[in-house]
Structure 1
Amino acid sequence: MPVLPGLRGYLAALAVLGVGIAVTVLVQADGLATLLTGGGVSVALLVAVGARILLTAAQGLFTSRFTASAQARLRRRLLDATDDPGVTATRITKGVDATATYLAGYLPAMVLSALVPIAVLARLFTADLTSALIVTATVPLIPLFGALIGAHTKARTQWTLLTRLGGHFLDVVRGLPTLKLFGRAQAQARVVREMADAHADATIRTLKVAFLSALVLELVATLSIALVAVPIGFRLLDGSITAHTAMLILALAPEAYLPLRAAGAKFHAATEGLTALKEILAAPTAVRRSGTKTRRLGPPEVVFDRVSVHYGETRALSEVDLTIRSGEHLALVGPSGSGKSTLLAVLLGFVAPTCGRVLVDGVDLQTLDHSSWLRDTAWLPQRPTLFRGTLMENTGGRRVDDIVTDLPDGYTAQVGELGAGLSAGQRQRVGLARALSRSDAGLVLLDEPTARLDARTEATVLAGTKELLPGRTAVLVAHRPALTALASRTVELNHGVTV
């Protein structure tokens, strides 16, 4: 999985600030012990208190700035994502916001919980061995109990359910006119309601565990401090320990547990943020290349040479070896999730292979000028992206009379953002018309163009596809036999491997 840019430097800076805070804790505790035993206010105490305030404020300012910068980078990354639009929208809003609890809350607390207890224990061993041994034995109980309770957290499940809900809800909203037309709106409303209830249940379970863990951590920390304080009181009475040492231990002991309690309190909220961060960094994004080579016009020969694509821990393609001859029409078949759309994304240059290469007429695709390559390609995705403007502008100047028969304004009809005002079939035909307008393109890529269409619209799209294919190299991702019949060869993909 890609690493968040600047994270190592961020952790190093937090460590430097943490060391400074740990030093001020020791000096402050010694100054308080001197003050409480009649020694008066020392300059060292005032300096330590002021320095601790400044270091804490600096840490808060630094974490806020880094988090804001990191979230801006994550949003820019998601704008190039090639994942489901609904899932991407949820990640841009809720997902990026959730990372703040991990970056600005949990990570600084974890750094302090690693540095301050060690500094406190080192000082306690020089002051009183018995108290140091008690703190050494009890400090690990807080992360131990926190880990035992945290193992049952549902924050990851909660985030997964939220992304599914966001993606499905966006799809339902987009297709609401079609759903109402076919009487399926109520059924989808029930599905959305069930998904929302599942997310709410997961949230309640997570909150229950979070409240329980907070109670346990506070109880363990309080009892641990009591185990240190009670013996100190008895030893102070019988004179086996000086008042200054006793006050020093009582001032230092809570400081050993405080960072661990703070980290434990932020653990459950940070789990959701960490899960969202991992998903955002692993999300497939469009590759921005700067190749300069151009290719000859005409139908290209395409060779996949041991091409693999990994999205984080997910393997989309695995060492694919495939040759598509110039002018050949290839049908890609296979179950959903087998890597067909990923293969098209690699061929379009939107996704870079994790390993291997794609050769176009013997030239590595990565070295080609991306803009000229796309100009030589006619592409019809599963969901064509339409923009605000007239129907003629969206079809690239291509007239498609069977689309405008049910639109009162014809080719001057205004299309809303993402194709608002058009049915799913009309949007697909507009996308096909746009592909047909690419008369100079030597490569045709169609990603299930007849999916979710009725028989009449499917026949129209198939007729347009037959017009588009002659004299061009074509890759057709197909589920239906009618589209597969247009190909000269069929290749099956299964779990990212050609069969």
Structure 2
Amino acid sequence: MKPLDPRLLRRARGARVFLAASVVIGVLSGVLIITQAVLLAHGIAGVVLHGTGVGAVAWGLAAVVAARALLVWAQEVVAQRAAAAVKSTLRRQVLEHSLKLGPVWLSGERSSALTTLLTKGLDDLDPYFARYLPQLVLASTVPAGVIGWMATGDLIAAGTVLITLPLIPIFMVLIGWVTQARSRRRQHALAVLAHHFADVVGGLTTLKLFGRAKAQESAVRRVTDQHRVASMGSLRVAFLSSFALELLASLSVALVAVGVGLRLVDGKLGLETALMVLILAPEAYLPLRQVGMQFHASADGVAASEEVFRVLETRLPERGERTDVPDLRVTPLHLYDVTVTYPGREEPALDGFDLEVRPGEVVALTGPSGAGKSTVLAVLLGFVVPDRGVVVAGGSAADEFVPSVWRRQFAWVPQNPGLRLGTVAGNVRLGRPDATDAQVRAALTAAGAADLPLDKAVGEQGHQLSGGQQRRVALARALLTDAPVLLLDEPTAGLDPDTEAEVITSLRATGRTILLVAHRPALIAAADRTVSVGSRQLVNA
């Protein structure tokens, strides 16, 4: 693990400001440490050798102590604000990048793991900024100043500190390798725990229905034990490493003290100089010892930031810059030789697929589950970049256009409609915020949901609505838009035959181009043409 990841400085302005402020505070702290040591040595030597008072020295020491306390307070304030700014920046960047990568990429990522990363994971950056980085800056500034000042009074003591000081970073590196591996295991165990717990909670209704809820207790207990073992292993290494660094620093200070004492007895060193050296020697080792101790507190946060950068460094698909998208109300869509193979799979989801959709036509995509029907819709929307082949409209490839402008030509209803917390009307208006209540009501009626009140509450992920109601709200949202092409993935799933017939009639009455994924016979029969995915054969309805 790098002491200071340069990617933090590049991606978060708050980290750069914090580092600059920490350097200033570190230099001032070094100056105050030396001043305090000189004042203490002068005051004690004056009392012992000359019996003089310590009034002026005491006031000076009080001022130094107050200044050091003020610097500690300033460091804490700067660190907490920097941590908050960096976490906010990284969270925003990850969310924006994830949206640009598209829903297909998100489906490949464990949503619970990503949620854990952006909440608890990034919260672990607080110790990194509040404890570790300030000590790292002090370790870079204070020892050099302390050794330099010691050299002005006792060159031998300064040389002893200079020789023994590198032993602490060496031990820190050795311990750091172990800590890094432990932190990664702990981060992985936390992600597994979050993912497993989210899956159990999400499927609790089904588990209860089939009497399998109790059986999950042992699985949750096993995953929890894995996280506990990983956490205790990290704590064990932290305690042992702190002991090793404290022991090494104590022996080094003792070595300096023995040398200073012998030269003081021989008369080769003055009392005031000896006191100054003895007071400064521990201060040379302290910042490095603190870096080693705080390293463990920050390791989890740094491990989480590595996962953040892994997401941010995932390359985005190359997109065009044209905005003159052809009007799909009068322009046909073509897919030529489209081949898509998802990462981690050997067999292609689509292999040399061809399709033509003419304006105003209703085309049904049929075929067994997993044949690639939903992938066809994802390719049209630009969520998936084909390994081979192209989408063409008006003689131009779809990837030549700005994605957001291209997607305005489509209204999409996926297999699992995304509904947010709010009301039915609010969810229908997502695609057209300025729609009136009358327009929303008309869209709901066309979608077979005339009985749904506009102000009916909707929970996260469509809770408080049945599966059929969720799909009808999503379909109403698509119908409310002005998009010339409707991409519908099983739009009548969960509907009774009468409601399904109403929805089919409403869809055909729109006069729009409709490409739908269909398994139900009534939906297939209503299409102008069917296309069997997984086969090059075209079947006319």
The one of 20, 27, 44 equivalent to 2:28 is: 20
The one of 179, 192, 217 equivalent to 1:164 is: 192
The one of 122, 133, 149 equivalent to 2:175 is: 149
- Which AA in structure 2 matches 1:296? P
Counterparts in 2 of 1:392 and 1:4: CA distance versus 1, 3 Å: closer
The one of 404, 414, 419 equivalent to 2:462 is: 419
Residue of structure 2 in register with 1:72 after alignment:
88
Q: How does 1:362-401 map to 2 (within 5 A)?
A: 362=396, 368=402, 370=404, 373-381=406-414, 383-388=416-421, 397=444
- Which AA in structure 1 matches 2:417? P
Quote how far apart the aligned CAs of 1:160 are. 1.9
Q: TM-score, normalised by structure 2?
A: 0.66
| Contact 1:292–1:367 under 8 Å retained in 2 | yes
- Which AA in structure 2 matches 1:416? G
Quote how far apart the aligned CAs of 1:225 are. 0.9
- Which AA in structure 2 matches 1:377? F
Residue of structure 1 in register with 2:128 after alignment:
102
1:218-272 alpha-carbon deviations (Å, 9 max, x no partner): 1111111111112211221121211122111111111111111211111112010
Query: Using the alignment, how far apart are the partners of 1:140 and 1:169 within structure 2?
Result: 46
- Which AA in structure 1 matches 2:34? L
The one of 232, 241, 250 equivalent to 2:278 is: 250
1:125-161 alpha-carbon deviations (Å, 9 max, x no partner): 3322221222122212222222222322312211222
Q: How does 1:68-217 map to 2 (within 5 A)?
A: 68-77=84-93, 80=96, 81-82=98-99, 83=106, 84-153=110-179, 154-217=182-245
- Which AA in structure 1 matches 2:126? A
1:256-297 alpha-carbon deviations (Å, 9 max, x no partner): 11111211111112010111223234436999x9x8935223
| Contact 2:260–2:274 under 8 Å retained in 1 | yes
Q: TM-score, normalised by structure 1?
A: 0.71
| Contact 2:91–2:118 under 8 Å retained in 1 | yes
**Percent of residue pairs bearing the same amino acid type:** 37
Quote how far apart the aligned CAs of 1:397 are. 2.1
Counterparts in 2 of 1:282 and 1:56: CA distance versus 1, 3 Å: same
Counterparts in 2 of 1:232 and 1:474: CA distance versus 1, 3 Å: farther
> How many aligned residue pairs are there?
444
List gaps (5 residues or longer) in structure 2: 1-6, 48-53, 100-105, 345-351, 429-442, 518-523, 525-529, 537-541
Counterparts in 2 of 1:11 and 1:414: CA distance versus 1, 3 Å: closer
| Contact 1:91–1:276 under 8 Å retained in 2 | yes
1:409-457 alpha-carbon deviations (Å, 9 max, x no partner): 96457643212245678756865776677684437386xx79xx99x99
Q: Could you tell which deviates more after superposition, 43-52 or 67-76?
A: 43-52
Query: Using the alignment, how far apart are the partners of 1:385 and 1:143 within structure 2?
Result: 52
Matched, 1:442 2:485: yes
Query: Using the alignment, how far apart are the partners of 1:392 and 1:262 within structure 2?
Result: 57
Q: How does 1:327-342 map to 2 (within 5 A)?
A: 327=357
SS in 2 for 1:387: coil
- Which AA in structure 2 matches 1:376? Q
| Contact 1:149–1:213 under 8 Å retained in 2 | yes
Counterparts in 2 of 1:210 and 1:31: CA distance versus 1, 3 Å: same
Query: Using the alignment, how far apart are the partners of 1:127 and 1:474 within structure 2?
Result: 86
Query: Using the alignment, how far apart are the partners of 2:336 and 2:286 within structure 1?
Result: 60
- Which AA in structure 2 matches 1:134? T
Query: Using the alignment, how far apart are the partners of 2:60 and 2:535 within structure 1?
Result: 80
Quote how far apart the aligned CAs of 1:104 are. 1.7
Counterparts in 2 of 1:57 and 1:437: CA distance versus 1, 3 Å: closer
Counterparts in 2 of 1:326 and 1:180: CA distance versus 1, 3 Å: same
List gaps (5 residues or longer) in structure 1: 315-321, 477-482, 492-499
Query: Using the alignment, how far apart are the partners of 1:303 and 1:23 within structure 2?
Result: 72
| Contact 2:486–2:512 under 8 Å retained in 1 | no
| Contact 1:388–1:418 under 8 Å retained in 2 | yes
- Which AA in structure 1 matches 2:412? W
SS in 2 for 1:156: helix
- Which AA in structure 2 matches 1:444? L
Quote how far apart the aligned CAs of 1:96 are. 2.7
| Contact 2:142–2:284 under 8 Å retained in 1 | yes
Counterparts in 2 of 1:64 and 1:474: CA distance versus 1, 3 Å: same
| Contact 1:102–1:270 under 8 Å retained in 2 | yes
Counterparts in 2 of 1:389 and 1:33: CA distance versus 1, 3 Å: closer
- Which AA in structure 2 matches 1:297? D
| Contact 1:31–1:45 under 8 Å retained in 2 | yes
| Contact 1:379–1:435 under 8 Å retained in 2 | yes
| Contact 2:143–2:285 under 8 Å retained in 1 | yes
Counterparts in 2 of 1:294 and 1:442: CA distance versus 1, 3 Å: farther
